Amino acid sequence: MTNSNKVRTRFAPSPTGFMHIGNLRSALFEYLVAKHENGDFILRIEDTDQTRKKDGAVEFIYKTLDLCNLKVDEGPNNPKDCGPYVQSERKDIYLKYAEELVEKGEAYYCFCDEERLQELREEAELMKVTFMYDGKCKNIPLEEAKKRVANNETYVIRQKMPKEGVTSYEDLVYGKISVENKLLEDQILIKSDGFPTYNFANVIDDHLMNITHVVRGNEYLSSTPKYLLLYKSFGWESPVYIHLPHIIREDGHKLSKRNGDASFMDLYDAGYLPEAIINYLALLGWTHPDNKEIFSLEELTRDWDSTRISKSPAVYDIKKLRWINSHYIKQMPFDKFKKWIIPFITSKYSLEDKDDLWINRLLEIYQQHISYGEEIVDEISIFFEDNNEINEEAKDILKEEASINTVKSFKKQIEELEEFTEENIVNIINKVKEETGSKGKSLFMPIRIVSSGLMHGPELSATIYLLGKEKVLKRLKNENL
């Protein structure tokens, strides 16, 4: 155990698959609580539930934290004095502390089998009350219980809860929380397979790793008194608790990977930048002191204030995430953007017949128009696919007399254009303007429709240049103009 007086937080995920958004937000807030005070951010893998463990999940945790630049000061991949940092490797530690509580009379061996517990659950269901273990084994004399353990009788170790009084604590976000002790079940500390329960392992590990601040979801608000009673039984100082509001979808349901909501890797693979995701997650349940919405991790760490965490659920809004992501895309140096975006394009289209000049111009334009990586595939389809269909609104525009004149003039100018450059395309659009008297929307809209089939898009001259003379003339012929 470290003797440091530093602020120390821990991110303690279970290795059950990809990291979902709520889990990553917890990691971020834990990181910020520590780093704002120049403290330590610890990674601990909580794998006490071996049935849910998935191969490769720990590596995904490392990769996600690394991509998001949440540097771990201590953990399985950066061990220091408080290891091991994987709970399944700490099994003997938990049993020792549980047996210490048994000796103190704060816990007891329970030999009730699953059949009896199931009967108690069914009785509770019939009576329409919450199931709680009835404490049958807590009156077994300790010596007798030890003999039964020595005889290899199956057992668990349960915490002996007080049945009177109230346990209270001050949460940094939600204020004073109080729970009547009679509502607290004699929870299991050590399971029959020798592994600790989540609640017990948390307390032991947080104490031995000298964790000063525990940041977690508000679903633990009412169970925290169980933790506090364990700290009291051991005579240990408890950490500061910071409970975070739920993240909910726009339909009001809680965001959850079990409901198929996006994980970090889903977003990353779709072309959301880690720095944009981190920026957005900070705003889910927290507000910047200056109401800023765009900030780097360094700025966020500097400006962090835990008292600005909200009690209200945070709504996950993909449109807001895209707005933030588009900002980061626009700010990328071009060479970095090109390296990042090309794989999205080549996942569907071949660039083998395109020169660097054409590719660079395409990317220069769409760097300013996309909000996530995969979006570019649909946005640039007009340059790779032959689709001459236009919608009814566009057809109506082309039927207007002014549009007919504009398109005829444009067709003539394009056919006569020898050097197909953006500058020359700008020049012929200006000639069309002089020749027809069209301007603004009545000039650009018909030309865009007959050239690209779309009513809206990036800069018109660049769009025409990227389409190429052959494709534009082919479209004009298909329009029978």
Contact yes or no for 466/383 (Cβ under 8 A): yes
Best CA proximity match to 379, nearest among 353, 348, 334: 348
- Cα–Cα distance between 25 and 11 in angstroms, integer? 10
Beta bridge partners of 171: 175, 241
- Could you list the active site residues? 257
Q: Give me the helix-helix angle, 460-467 and 422-436, nearest 10°.
A: 120
- Cα–Cα distance between 337 and 339 in angstroms, integer? 6
- Cα–Cα distance between 164 and 167 in angstroms, integer? 10
Best CA proximity match to 433, nearest among 402, 459, 469, 387: 402
List of E strands, 289-446: 314-315
- Cα–Cα distance between 276 and 280 in angstroms, integer? 6
- Cα–Cα distance between 109 and 315 in angstroms, integer? 45
- Cα–Cα distance between 105 and 157 in angstroms, integer? 12
For the purposes of burial, counting CB atoms within 10 Å of the CB of 307, is it exposed (0-12), middle (13-18) or buried (19 or more)?
Answer: exposed
DSSP string, 1-64: -----S-EEEE----SSSPBHHHHHHHHHHHHHHHTTT-EEEE-B----GGG--TTHHHHHHHH
Contact yes or no for 10/43 (Cβ under 8 A): yes
- Cα–Cα distance between 191 and 200 in angstroms, integer? 10
- Cα–Cα distance between 434 and 471 in angstroms, integer? 25
Cα-atom radius of gyration of the chain, to the nearest Å? 32
Give the containing element (helix H, strand E) for 243.
strand 240-244
- Cα–Cα distance between 122 and 116 in angstroms, integer? 10
Contact yes or no for 238/231 (Cβ under 8 A): yes
